[in-house]
């Protein structure tokens, strides 16, 4: 199942990150990096689901997302300062890196197509 994950800088921390699953109320984890927080969140999610099953609580389904189109993974290399800016921005808006980058690329392509008609 694919839940909605939000990763953002801990507003009260010393550079730590918080990862949350939107659909699983109270399911969150911390880490020194976004990647660490996400790894810890996988454990927290399993514990959350196990506890819900044990106590007969409902387990919310992932939000319906637009799918249908297959996704492909690729590697991107950014300067560290730009990646930091990406993480700060997406954290404010509860986006994944891939969601933010896809939206930015789509906007860029749309804007350049308007500027340079075929």
pLDDT tens, position by position, 80-104: 999 998 888 877 766 788 888 887 8
For the chain, the first-to-last Cα distance in angstroms comes to: 41
C-alpha 51/C-alpha 100 separation (Å) is: 33
Tell me what the mean pLDDT of segment 52-79 comes to.
80
Beta strands per DSSP E along the chain: 5-9, 17-21, 28-31
Given 3.60.15.10, 3.30.160.250, 3.30.930.10, 3.90.550.10, which CATH number is that of 5-115?
Answer: 3.30.160.250
Q: What is the pTM of this model?
A: 0.54
Domain boundary assignment for the chain? 5-115
């Amino acid at each position: 199942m694919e839940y909605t994950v939000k990763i953002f800088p801990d507003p009260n921390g010393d550079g730590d990150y918080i990862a949350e699953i939107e659909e699983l109320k109270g399911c969150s984890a911390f880490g020194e990096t976004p990647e660490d927080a996400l790894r810890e969140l996988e454990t927290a999610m399993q514990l959350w689901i196990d506890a819900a099953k044990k106590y007969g609580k409902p387990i919310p389904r992932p939000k319906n997302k637009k799918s249908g189109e297959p996704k492909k993974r690729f590697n991107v290399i950014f300067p560290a300062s730009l990646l930091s800016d990406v993480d700060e921005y997406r954290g404010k808006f509860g986006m994944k890196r891939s969601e933010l980058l896809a939206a930015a690329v789509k906007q860029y392509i749309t804007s350049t197509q308007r500027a340079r008609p075929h």
